[in-house]
Structure 1
Amino acid sequence: MNSENIKKAEEILKEETGELREFRPHERLIFDTIAVGWAFFQLALASFLILNSTYVRAIHLAFAMALVFLSIPFFKKPKRVLRFLSVTDKIPLIDYIFAILGVVSALYIVIDYNGIAMRAGSPLPRDVIFGLLLIVVLLEATRRSIGPALSFIAIVFSLYAFFGPYMPDVLAYKGVTLTKYVNQLSLSTEGIYGIPLGVSASIVYLFVLLGSMLDRAGAGKFFIDLAVSLLGKYKGGPAKAAIVSSALTGLVSGSSIANIVTTGTFTIPLMKSVGYPAKKAAATEVAASTDGQLMPPIMGAAAFIIAEYVNVPYIEVVKAAAIPAFVSYFALFFVTHLEASKLGLKGLPKEQLPDFKKTLRNGLHYLIPIGMLVYELVVLRHSPELAAFRAIIVLAVIIFIQEFVKFKRGENDHWLKSAISIIKSGFVGGSRNMISVALATASAGIIVGLVNTGIGSMITEIVENLAQGNIFLLLVITAIASLLLGMGLPTTATYIVMASLTAPIIVEVGASYGFFVPLMAAHLFCFYFGILADDTPPVGLASYAAAALADSEPIPTGLQGFLYDMRTAIIPFMFVFNPDLILHQVYSWPLGILIFVMAVFAAFAFTSVIQGWLITKNKWFEIPFLLVAALILFNPEILLHYLPLGPEYKYYMYIPGLALFFLVLIEQKLREKLV
């Protein structure tokens, strides 16, 4: 692969992760000390340190504020005017000042906690000043970290909160005073220090840290080699290997772009080598990498926030997300198979494949902490933070053993020093990866806090009027809004904003028209479309990173990736109308497996329509059969509306759906033989 292409992709990744500054030695020491300190603080919380939840959230935010101002300049691109604001070869004095202001404003609620609690609702002028300072500095930190979109939205909501009383009747809202604004957002747990930041501080950091340590230890390369050794020989093998390696790497990267740069550097050239066009190779990697956040048991940060909002254990979110996630990946496998069939492609020759047994033997130890995590979450039903903490401890021990074994083989000179270096690198990487998550959840808290002042009920009324009581139209509006928001926001922030505004409305509108929508389904709906926004043209940065690696055009790559993602976009609509797909009130393993298998066939039927191919090229008259088959297999209850049968016959309706799918399959098979 062209080194220039890799460099372009890495630059996109650096912009996302904030690795823009080249530190001098003493600056590197300052940054690393704060980053490692953050890691130790979070590990202490999960083991022996007990603090008030507000203290935890404030300290968590203070660490993020310090790191973002030290690592990301005011302007990311060099400027002729005010050049000192875009310095990347050192940390200028102004950014030290910003870092100090960020830390002090974030910790103000800790410093005067008892005083603020005693005068709740009646803040002193000093409280208002520090509260406003926190909001301003936080919005600037968020702008530097994840771009201007979330800060802009928070400012719009803030302006609306003040000017609401002067708006036209349809938009009129009682508004807030400056005192109420600051008290709600900065001096309570209703705004910045709310649930999203709490989840980031208590749970998400540990999972991101685990992923960073796995990556530094070498798990990323192991996952790629394992996937290629297993699937590389089959038709379109490199694309199928890209899907599996991206799903596995999604466990450790926490970022679509990081996933693409990690796996795509290897898998995209392999796909091109067997005949995939550059655009389709890049689009396959994009589709696989964005879906990495869907995969249980370690989903994106938003999944933990879903558990808090819906008030269920995290394992219930994993259970609900399991069928949709696996159906989405099975469907993507099918997409790559269809593309390989259309292009007449084969797999990789045997000599290009890593040896499966050797690969598995050399990297089997990386599966131990992941297995430990799953065991803790699923079998022992421990809290996510305890499960992640124990997995991190196990991984740290494994790293020491791994480096000692390498020392015995002569692969390093100082095994202890090497192990400590890997763990330290994992700590720094974990803290760096958490900057954007912590700031996104804190800034999204501004919007959530303002929604709770009364804006939410007004927005609910507007959205209900737009949807005209039609649940399907409401879902379309939510999906489009999520995609548009997600172009400028990370998945977590998109989910928080959309879930705060629309998830309750989806449930309420459904109920008012006699249609039951579980709250979990409404939240997962917002979550899915927040993820899909990662590769939505024209902004999707994931598409730009993959296009740089494949040497293809970003916009066509994004469009192709979005076409592949259509098989995922249909699933949220289906589980809203058929909660069986999220295993709502499904407690039987055989029934759960039946629902999953039928959903896979449904996804195959729908994907065949989108791709225009099943066994061979589709004829126009086959498309209605495939669409009806997909609809029935996703939601068998729909047939009961047209047949004089009771609800006990619901699952028998899978039979006509399967019959339609296999009818088209057999017809195409016969037609292929006659050609």
Structure 2
Amino acid sequence: MSFERIIEDTSISDEEQREIIKKYDSESRFRNLNIPWMIRMVTFLAVGLALFHLITSFTGPLITLKHRALHTGVILALVFILYPSRKKAPQQKATIIDLFMSLLSLLTIIYIFVDYAGIVTRGSQPNQPDLLFSLLMVMLVLEGGRRVVGTGLTILCSLFLMYAYFGPYLPRIIAHRGYSIEDIFSYMYLTTEGIYGTAIGVSATYIFLFVLFGSFLNRTGMGQLFNDAAISISGHTAGGPAKVAVISSGFLGSINGSAIANVVTTGSFTIPLMKRTGYSKNFSGAVEAAASVGGQVLPPVMGATAFIMAETLGMPYAHIALAAIIPGLLYYIGVITVVHLRAKKQGLKGLSRDELPNMLQVIKERGHLLIPLILLIYMLFGGFTPIYAAAWAIISTIIISFVRKTTRLSIKEIFKGLEDGTRSSLGVAMACAMVGIIVGVASLTGFGLKMTSAILFLGANTLILTLFFTMIASIILGMGLPSIPTYIITSSMAAPALIQFGVEPFVSHMFVFYFGILANLTPPVALAAFAGAGISGGDPNRTGFISLKLAAAGILVPYIFVYSPELLLQGTSAGSVIWLSVTAITGVIMLGASLEGYLLTKMNPFLRILALSGAITLVIPGGLTDIIGISMLIVVLISQLLQRKRTVKTA
């Protein structure tokens, strides 16, 4: 049977994909407009915004407040047209109220552009129109965010706004002097500290362009290239389809930055293939979820978080991308190890070679699509700004698509790519605008410092306890959020506790980011795992717990690099990096063996504990820990060899 026939027989339909992604991702619950003038209006706004960002990536952005206001206002206008206010609202056309709110969103841009000089001159003394538009903008962001991102973040924003006002009446540990309605709302709209703060700033620069880049890659068939290449390389091995899911989802997840969308698009054919090979429903969904989430910590793009981290910490992008390589690879080696050992333990086979696509044919058909990615990486490491690099990557994708007829983009498809890129950015842009409210209130009231004090108090001045409570805080703060807002919130609220304890800022930010994105795998709000279960037909919570097991390296490694920053290439030599990589990879493989209870054959409880201890000591950099870990590994291997020999003799 041909590979194409296998995919056709096992993959879920496009309609089923849409239903699943709508169930778990509120960003996908948009209207399918059937009114021609509304469709044209959406196209005009979306394509116009995309072209604006492409042009300003070369000419330079507008004045900060104007640039962010234009980005946010157009995003809001599109949200009110495309997203219904409730399930029972019209799904094919925008209502009068929706159109009115869309118009108000555009007016918030006009007001800032027309009276920019007055706004700057008045400073902290806003006039009545300032206050009216400030109140209007906050309400629009809350309602637009509710429609796209969901009620969870909307409620959190509302609580923070209430906290800003009712501060004097709260318990002393979190109380503050309090602010008037005028102070709170004007701070959110008329400054670059609230809605128009850092979060929407990165949305209006890095995020938008990288989402646009991903849109064009999808239209040219880059996803198909990754899938075909992965299955050609590993499809024939034990449990091959699961390894395909890990490899292809890792590549795609790093670029598109959306774990849930990645689970549904890649998982639509990898999950049925895994089940066909013999993996259980829950395990199949968990593999795809764990692999998709891990893309957010995998260089070079890291879902665009690397660029924001670079700007926040004032570090070169190349430094962050290089530092994240070893932890990112350890995460994926950990997932593949468990997948492989599960296949060996259950005697699962891969697909036969004659069922798989030919690698040379895959490269010949779509290999040229790798050129824009290579160009992007070259420019990022060559010192060009991420914005400039992303813009050239987009242009090169369009040009390179003309190499072959199967990937060629017509003029209509180019405009469709611009529109799709803008539409794909609506969810993360709205999340960033809402995060701006949260971070703005935290900055205004000093809440971040209070949270830092609370974490340090709970940690009882002990680093390990402080790390544990910071981990819990990061998971809670990251629930249901895309990776970018997750990083911004956790780095603002949770990371300062570690920095105050003496952990380096970069290490602290990486620690909270890892656990923020793992919120997508941790029940009760494990959206990536739930999406995987939706495709596999498994139990959502069970799938979530298995995905956490698969992501065990992602839980262990952040603790290790806090105690030993060498894992992030901090203050170490090239020779040390090679040795560190070898011992860490060996440790992660032992960790997988311990969790799965299988290495060369089944392991008894004592060997599993020994393997776990050896794994931890090998992952921790250091001569003594390496000797201890290698000794434990030798004991485990000898025991496994003897046990397998006895088993063969008995058989």
TM-score under structure 2 length normalisation:
0.94
Contact preservation (8 Å) 1:232, 1:240: yes
1:429 maps to what in 2?
A: 420
**Aligned with 1:332 (options 332, 335, 359):** 335
1:156 maps onto 2:147 in alignment: no
Residue deviations 1:261-304 (CA, integer Å, cap 9, x gap): 22111111221122111211111111111112122111124332
CA contact (8 A) 1:211 1:254 kept: no
Deviates more, 1:498-507 or 1:19-28: 19-28
Answer yes or no: is the 8 Å Cα contact 1:229–1:354 preserved in 2: yes
1:30 matched to 2:41? The reply is: yes
1:9 shift after superposition: 2.1
- Report whether the alignment pairs 1:100 with 2:103: yes
Which of residues 655, 660, 670 is equivalent to 2:627?
A: 655
SS in 1 for 2:404: helix
Aligned runs of 1:8-19 on 2, under 5 Å?
8-12=19-23, 15-19=26-30
Pairwise CA distance, 1:620? 2.1
Cα separation, partners in 2 of 1:665 and 1:108, compared to 1, 3 Å: farther
AA paired with 2:505? L
| Matched residue, 2:546 | 560
1:169 maps onto 2:161 in alignment: no
- The aligned residue for residue 536 of structure 2 is 550
| 106 and 600 in structure 1: CA distance in 2 versus 1, 3 angstrom threshold | farther
Number of aligned residues: 635
CA distance in 2, matches of 1:532, 1:164: 32
Amino acid at match of 1:224: N
Number of the residue aligned with 1:231: 234
Question: Any idea what SS the aligned residue of 2:494 has?
Answer: helix
1:306 maps to a residue whose letter is: M
For the residues of structure 2 that align with 1:560 and 1:307, how far apart are their CA atoms? 33
Residue 199 of structure 1, CA deviation: 1.4
State the match for 2:577 in structure 1.
592
The CA deviation at 1:208 is 1.0
Which stretch shifts more, 6-15 or 425-434?
6-15
CA displacement, residues 543-598 of structure 1 (integer Å, 9 cap, x when unaligned) = 23222222222222222212212221111111111111111223x33322222222
**What is aligned with 1:505?**
497
* 1:449 matched residue in structure 2: 440
What's the counterpart of residue 673 of structure 1? 645
What secondary structure does 1:521 align onto?
Answer: helix
Q: Tell me which residue corresponds to 1:419.
A: 410
2:236 aligned counterpart, secondary structure: coil
Distance 1:21 1:468 in 2: 54
Q: Which residue of 2 aligns with 1:578?
A: 564
Going from structure 1 to structure 2, the CA distance change for 1:320 and 1:109 (only over 3 Å counts) comes to: farther
1:213 touches 1:422 (CA, 8 Å); kept in 2?
no
1:617 is aligned to 602
Give the letter aligned to residue 673 of structure 1. Answer: K
- What residue in structure 2 maps to residue 643 of structure 1? none
Inter-partner Cα distance in structure 2 for 1:617 and 1:108: 69
Structure 1 residue 470 corresponds to structure 2 residue 462: yes
Q: Per the alignment, in what secondary structure is the counterpart of residue 191 of structure 1?
A: coil
The 3 A distance-change label for structure 1 pair 6 and 452 is closer
Supply the distance in 1 between the matched residues of 2:308 and 2:109 (Cα, whole angstroms).
21
Q: Please report the RMSD computed on the Cα atoms of aligned residues, expressed in angstroms.
A: 1.9
Q: Which residue of 1 aligns with 2:388?
A: 386
Distance in 2 between residues matched to 1:493 and 1:160, nearest whole Å: 20
Identity, % of aligned positions: 38
> Separation in 2 of the partners of 1:475 and 1:329?
23
Decide whether aligned partners of structure 1 residues 456 and 553 sit closer, same or farther in structure 2, where only a CA change above 3 A counts: closer
* Aligned partner of 1:139 among 138, 142, 159: 142
Letter in 1 for 2:188: L
Q: Which amino acid aligns with 1:39?
A: A
Report how far residue 340 of structure 1 moved.
0.4
Aligned-partner residue type, residue 449 of structure 2: S
Task: Answer whether contact 2:334 2:552 (CA < 8 A) is retained.
Answer: no
Out of 63-72 and 463-472, give the one that drifted further: 463-472
What CA distance in whole angstroms lies between the structure 2 residues aligned with 1:51 and 1:128? 24
Q: What is the distance in 2 between the residues matched to 1:598 and 1:107?
A: 59
* Greater CA drift, 33-42 or 471-480: 471-480
* Mapping 1:121-270, distance limit 5 Å: 121-270=124-273
> Of the candidates 636, 639, 643, which is equivalent to residue 664 of structure 1?
636
Asked whether the 8 Å contact 1:146–1:490 carries over to 2, the reply is no
Q: For residue 72 of structure 1, report the CA deviation from its aligned partner.
A: 0.5
Contact 1:215 1:252 in 2 (8 A): no
The answer to whether the Cα contact below 8 Å between 2:209 and 2:391 also exists between their aligned partners in 1 is yes
Q: CA deviation at 1:456?
A: 2.2
Greater CA deviation, 333-342 or 242-251?
242-251
After superposition, the Cα gap between the structure-2 partners of 1:315 and 1:527, relative to the gap in structure 1 and judged at 3 Å, is same
Which amino acid counterpart does residue 539 of structure 2 have in structure 1? E
Please report how far the alpha carbon of residue 479 of structure 1 lies from its aligned counterpart in structure 2 after TM superposition. 1.6
Do the aligned partners of 1:5 and 1:548 also contact (CA within 8 Å) in 2?
A: no
In the alignment, is the contact (CA less than 8 A) between 1:321 and 1:582 conserved in 2? yes
Is contact 1:191-1:446 (8 Å) kept? yes
Could you tell me how far apart the structure 2 residues matched to 1:471 and 1:187 are? 40
Could you list the runs of 5+ residues in structure 2 that have no partner in the other structure? Answer: 1-9
Provide the residue aligned with 2:315 in structure 1.
Answer: 312
User: In 2, distance between residues paired with 1:519 and 1:23?
Assistant: 50
Q: Which amino acid aligns with 1:118?
A: T
What is the CA distance between 1:469 and its match in structure 2? Answer: 1.4
Could you list the per-position Cα deviations for residues 57-83 of structure 1 after superposition, in whole angstroms to 9, with x for gaps in the alignment? 1111112111111110111x22xxxxx
Could you tell me how far apart the structure 1 residues matched to 2:594 and 2:109 are?
Answer: 52
Supply the distance in 1 between the matched residues of 2:140 and 2:443 (Cα, whole angstroms): 22
Aligned counterpart in structure 2 of residue 63 of structure 1, from 70, 74, 83? 74
Q: Is the 8 A contact 2:217 2:397 kept in 1?
A: yes
Give me the TM-score of the superposition, normalised by structure 1. 0.90
Amino acid at match of 1:433: S
Is the contact between residue 173 and residue 458 of structure 1 (CA under 8 Å) also seen in structure 2? no
2:258·2:482 contact (CA, 8 Å) conserved in 1? Answer: no
Deviation track 1:13-46 (CA, whole Å, cap 9, x = no partner) reads 7733343333422222111121111110110011
Q: How far is 1:328 from its partner? A: 0.5
Q: 2:59 aligns with which of 43, 48, 51?
A: 48
- Flag the 1:461–1:635 CA change in 2: closer, same or farther, 3 A: same
What is the CA–CA distance in structure 1 between the aligned matches of 2:580 and 2:385, rounded to whole Å?
Answer: 28
CA distance in 1, matches of 2:490, 2:450: 15
User: Structure 2: which amino acid aligns with 1:396?
Assistant: I
1:531 CA displacement: 1.2
Structure 1: gaps of 5 or more residues: 79-85, 407-414, 512-516, 637-649
**C-alpha contact (below 8 Å) 1:279/1:553 kept by paired residues:** yes
Q: Secondary structure at the match of 2:288?
A: helix
Measure how far apart 1:5 and its partner are. 4.8
Return the offset for 1:478: 2.0
For residue 241 of structure 1, report the CA deviation from its aligned partner: 1.1
1:307-357 superposed Cα distances (whole Å, 9 cap, x missing partner): 222111222221221111111011111011111012111111122111111
